[in-house]
Amino acid sequence: MRSFQVFFDIDQQTTAAIDLFISLAHNAVEKRGLFSVALSGGSTPKALYAGLTEPARQAMLPWDDIHFFFGDERHVPADHPDSNFRMVQEVFFSKIPILKDNIHRVKTEMDVRLAAFAYEDELRSFFEGHWPSFDLVLLGLGLDGHTASLFPNTAGLNEEYRWFIANHVRSQNGWRLTLTKNAINAARRIVVLVTGQSKAGILSEVLTGAQEPYQKPIQLITPTDGELIWLLDREAASQLPPDLVI
């Protein structure tokens, strides 16, 4: 199931994302006793992460029952400026009462392939299932149509069996680590956060243009049984046909 929600500006889109996060967390903890989230890197989700640290919102969340994973990571040290963990640690984790054991960091100090295998082992032991059924996977959209670290024309797009892999990305001059398309698609909910005029073109291309998933990997994101929710601001949605987002 796919839905689109367009908001007047980033502030309203962020508020909606915060409210959705809190609602999903309560539902998951009520039903299954915990809430598993795969976080996105990049700049777009920072407002969501920061908003969740506000005292009134913090008080609404069952932190001890929330487990944070990473949808992707750069193969750099955890304190490197490019590290998604470092960004989330600074903006989010350092400001909330989250148990250290509930933060599942990708061990990028390891060889990249070993780090991918180690993280997949951690996922498999956490989910105990055939595929990782995250309650929520947060994604962004790159200007080249990538999401997580599934970049155009990279070998990682072909992976059918693994959950988490090392993916060499020539356009990024190095190695990334990422959930595979099948691991993302096994989620209960996938929320894609896209804001700003700069994303209007690529967003229209991926949603209304030709199906070319090797060039636009976010087109590979089609949840198996879960829900795909696009949370957009007006600027990012400005080139979408009106009938698509009603």
Give me the residues that bind ligand 6PG (CB under 6 A), please.
40-44, 72, 84, 140-142, 146-149
Which residues make beta-bridge pairs with 186?
none
Residue 14 beta carbon to ligand 6PG: minimum distance, rounded to whole angstroms = 13
Q: In the structure encoding, which two tokens stand for residue 204, read together? A: 């229209």
- Nearer of residues 28 and 106 to ligand 6PG, judged by Cβ: 106
Q: Which of 228, 192, 233 is nearest to 13 (CA)?
A: 233
Residue 144 beta carbon to ligand 6PG: minimum distance, rounded to whole angstroms = 9
Nearest residue to ligand 6PG, by Cβ distance, number only: 140
Alpha helices in 10-148 (DSSP H): 10-32, 46-52, 55-58, 84-91, 112-127
Q: How many CA atoms lie within 13 A of 55 on its CB side?
A: 0
- Nearer of residues 65 and 73 to ligand 6PG, judged by Cβ: 73
Task: Give the count of beta carbons closer than 10 Å to the beta carbon of residue 200.
Answer: 18
Alpha helices in 154-199 (DSSP H): 181-185
Residue 146 beta carbon to ligand 6PG: minimum distance, rounded to whole angstroms = 6
- Nearer of residues 149 and 219 to ligand 6PG, judged by Cβ: 149
Residue 121 beta carbon to ligand 6PG: minimum distance, rounded to whole angstroms = 22
- Nearer of residues 142 and 226 to ligand 6PG, judged by Cβ: 142
